[in-house]
Structure 1
């Protein structure tokens, strides 16, 4: 069993837009944007943790669809993993640790001040999304 902490985040994508959440806490992260999510708890799969975290933070029900390749170090012993997520029900609202939400069109991904660790995760998600769109066009 690993002692590392896994933080899961959801790339909630709907109608061609990605959901970004602006941090309100802690103070050193306030005002910057992230993919919403949180820590995986003991006994949870990463997917279960993601569904729980998005319910707690945004009041939505979601379904993890696909893991974005890669993981990103947040601090020693703590990594970020990202999933593409389908919104099942609810309207996202900033309930915990966020004070604003924004739906970003593909050309708007660089218009928010992402947290440093989220920048490469969002770029990896965009590459995956682009590859999937290309696969669909070839079918």
Structure 2
């Protein structure tokens, strides 16, 4: 099991996504926790590292957990994505590990990882992702 944290940031029916250097698929911003970190601490650190903004910690809200086959891993290796929403300060920008930031809609579902597809489906059914 790969345990990850993700930030769901939607604007006008599109969701913020990132593409790492050398990768084709887009992923929701976030990542793995370091030893001793809470979900919230992981979210704050990963978002600062990936898209250079500061998450406003008092605004962090749980947004669901999703599990699917991990991209690029052996069959049966599952990723669990625990998602949060939150407000932020700063200007979104790709960090050194991120090649591109993109605003994706539901029509872009085929461009994201398996677990992100589940999240896209959930957000689309809730009327949040157009």
TM-score (norm 1): 0.70
The 3-state SS of whatever aligns with 1:70 is: strand
**Which residue does 2:102 correspond to in 1?**
102
**Which residue does 2:93 correspond to in 1?**
93
**Which residue does 1:135 correspond to in 2?**
none
**Which residue does 1:116 correspond to in 2?**
114
CA distance in 2, matches of 1:44, 1:72: 23
The 3-state SS of whatever aligns with 1:8 is: strand
CA distance in 2, matches of 1:64, 1:73: 27
Conserved in 2, the CA contact under 8 Å of 1:14 and 1:86?
A: no
The CA deviation string for residues 74-115 of structure 1, in whole angstroms up to 9 with x for no partner, is 2556533232422320121110432111123xxx22226112
The 3-state SS of whatever aligns with 1:100 is: strand
**Which residue does 1:12 correspond to in 2?**
9
Shift of the alpha carbon at 1:32? 1.3
The CA deviation string for residues 46-82 of structure 1, in whole angstroms up to 9 with x for no partner, is 1210111001111111243223243335255653323
Structure 1 or 2, whichever has the larger Rg, is 1
The 3-state SS of whatever aligns with 2:92 is: coil
Which shows bigger deviation, 73-82 or 117-126? 73-82
CA distance in 2, matches of 1:58, 1:49: 14
CA distance in 2, matches of 1:102, 1:65: 23
Structure 1 runs not aligned, ≥5 long:
133-139
CA distance in 2, matches of 1:126, 1:84: 16
**Which residue does 2:83 correspond to in 1?**
83
For these two proteins, the number of residue pairs brought into alignment is: 120
Tell me: CA distance 1:91–1:16, structure 2 relative to 1, closer, same or farther (3 Å). farther
How much is the aligned-residue C-alpha RMSD, in angstroms?
A: 2.5
1:42-57 superposed matches below 5 A = 42-57=35-50
